Amino acid sequence: MAPRKIIIDTDPGQDDAFAILLALASPEDLEVLGICAVAGNVPLALTQRNSRIVCELAGRREVRVFAGCEAPLKRKLVTAEYVHGKTGLDGPVLAEPTMPLQPGHAVDFIIDTLRREPVGTVTLCPLGPLTNIATAFLKAPDIVGRVQEIVLMGGAYFEVGNVTPTAEFNIYVDPEAAEIVFKSGVPLVVMPLDVTHKALTSRRWIEGLRSMGTEVGRVAADWADFFERFDVSKYGSDGGPLHDPCVIAYLINPDLFTGRRINVEIETRSELTLGMTVADWWGVTGRPANALFMGALDARGFFDLLTERLARL
């Protein structure tokens, strides 16, 4: 079977970096058509820089990286340096990237790619706020029906919120964009905190990365060291959740995940629950299902996959 064609939309972030590395290490499964940066964890100037740093680390300078939207559709940007550090990729000492940023806007790249490729052959993989995706859908409604699937990291139900009591960060940053995407009719697979909080790093796993003796292993271990400190302190957990690699792992091996097809609506008006993914897990509303909302993860299989693929780079 031919590799699945994907566009990664991202705001790196250490966990985004792991997701990008996993995708780039899996050419038999995934063809990365391009990487689109969006403002989120840190501002756009840093997310596009960080995307190129990760490509260079993977030895994939030919991958095209585009800069996208620098602010949410209707709101002031909220960032997460308190989690990811001032650069978004704090931890290891990293050189500035030398591979070029592509000319043109990421939104136009998404539109042009979906119009060029056969209908139903391109999967969108948002790892951050959904601003780029929603903007593309608004600008070119004809592309909506051409998308094969959207597999995204965002939202929560049983785990509630990580940036407010009820909202997960990616959805909270641009709830209007999320509403557009969730109402688009495109098949959706959602990796909420309910799943990603089960993808916890461990000291043994991090030291295993370091013991690979490669630059990727060293940098990835340093990223994991820095990234996990926030969640260990906040939740009292033994490690940090690798949110975004869940998206890529699902595309490689969907059997690692278990979920339920449900209706998910996005709260855009309430001051109290802004950005909440109102997930009808028990089917009480009668609204039609619009997302495969994941609830469980084979964590051992997930980390085995991640280790095996990172060792290739």
Alpha-carbon radius of gyration of the chain: 18
In angstroms, the CA 223 to CA 268 distance is 33
Backbone angles phi, psi at 33, to 5 degrees: -75, -25
Q: Running DSSP on this structure, what letter comes out for residue 125?
A: E
- Express each pLDDT in 204-262 by its tens digit: 999 999 999 999 999 999 999 999 888 888 888 889 999 999 999 999 999 999 999 99
* pTM: predicted TM-score of the whole model, two decimal places: 0.98
**Domains located in the chain, CATH noted:** 4-310 (3.90.245.10)
| Tokens matching residue 100 | 């070029």
What pLDDT score was predicted for residue 95? 95
| Tokens matching residue 136 | 């593309």
* Residue 221 burial (C-beta neighbours within 10 Å; 0-12, 13-18, 19+): buried
Work out the widest C-alpha separation in the chain, in whole angstroms. 54
Candidate list 84, 105, 197, 243, residue with the active-site label: 243
In angstroms, the CA 13 to CA 271 distance is 27
In angstroms, the CA 277 to CA 264 distance is 6
* Residue 249 burial (C-beta neighbours within 10 Å; 0-12, 13-18, 19+): buried
243 a catalytic residue: yes
Contacts of 161 (CB under 8 A, 6+ apart): 167, 168, 172, 275, 276
What pLDDT score was predicted for residue 57? 98
What pLDDT score was predicted for residue 230? 85
In angstroms, the CA 302 to CA 107 distance is 31
Do residues 170 and 206 touch, judged by C-beta distance below 8 A? no
Within the chain, which residues score under 70 in pLDDT? none
